[in-house]
Chain A
Amino acid sequence: MKFGVLQFPGSCDDRDAVEACARVGDAVLLWHADRDLHGVDAVVVPGGFSYGDYLRAGAIARFSPVMESVIEFANDGGLVLGICNGFQVLTEAGLLPGALLPNTGRRFVCRQVDLEVVDADTPFTNLCAPGERLSIPAKHQTGRYHAPGLDPALVVVRYAAGHCFNGSQDDIAGVRNARGNVFGLMPHPEHAVDPLTGSVDGLRIFESMAAHVGAAHVAV
């Protein structure tokens, strides 16, 4: 299992994403100006402030050379995980439905939140139980999910009752595309992979991806 973590100017969670991926497989950084995905099995679009969040969060990164390859990779069925700014980039790219708006409270908020796994039958949550709670940190100012007319079947994780601080529609924390191979969420599973930082629940997302890719290899 080889993960590729994108690196834009302004990314800041790319190193943590590599650390998290490296716990379940191999991980390499993919520079934004390089179209070559170097044969990775899955792409992680990490958190941060790509291109300084200029214009809108994710709006410029979405047109970077590497994203052209990621869009092609996703359209071919490749696994793509977008975290925080990565989620914003994937919505801007049209790979995921909806958009992220400024938090209703206007402020940047950083706190540990409980997520509820709504759909445990995805390549990103297959090692979770339906309804299971994951304790994962969230840190953002532009995380209010907005997707009028969203198919409820695309919701993968919600903020548990009382944990949604950003005003997201129906407490949605993360959604997938219709095909199920692209998933984005605002909270940061890559920051919850070591007991040192209080929770290892985030590891489940990366382990699920590895299990999915492993099973696909066996099937081939």
Chain B
Amino acid sequence: MPRVQVLIRPKSGILDPQGKAVERALPALGFDGVSNVHVGRLVELDVEDVSQVDAMCERLLANTLIEDYEIVS
């Protein structure tokens, strides 16, 4: 069965407090020069019919008002 990964990210332009927190934490550990940090979700699935994954994203896996998704096979 094909293995599919779905990457779900906060939509650009929407404040991402988790990303901000990570961005602020890194310099404190000596990692400078880091910007635009965003934290999203990874959903991995084995599916018989890969063509259904887009509909799965639209209906359940992502909320497209606030999130973008990307299907990686």
Contacts and interface: CB of A to CB of B under 8 A. Distances in A.
Nearest to A97: B65
A195 interface: no
A199 to B, nearest CB: 29
B21 interface: yes
Interface stretch (B11-19, B27-35, B44-52): B11-19
A63 interface: yes
A160 B61 CA distance: 35
Given A55-B60, A59-B60, A105 B65 contact: no
Q: Which DSSP category, helix, strand, loop or mixed, fits chain B's interface?
A: mixed
A105 B21 CA distance: 10
Contact of A106 (B17, B60, B65): B17
Given A146-B14, A167-B15, A106 B63 contact: no
Contacts, number: 30
Given A59-B60, A99-B66, A104 B15 contact: yes
Interface string A90-118: 00100000110111111000000000000
Contact of A98 (B17, B18, B65): B65
Contacts of A102: 17-18
Nearest to A62: B60
Q: Which DSSP category, helix, strand, loop or mixed, fits chain A's interface?
A: loop
Interface string A47-76: 000000001100100010000000000000
A70 B63 CA distance: 21
A53 to B, nearest CB: 13
Interface of B: 14-15, 17-18, 21, 41, 60-61, 63, 65-66
Given A55-B41, A98-B65, A106-B17, 14 more contacts: A55-B61, A59-B63, A99-B65, A99-B66, A101-B15, A104-B17, A105-B17, A106-B18, A106-B21, A146-B65, A146-B66, A147-B65, A148-B65, A167-B15
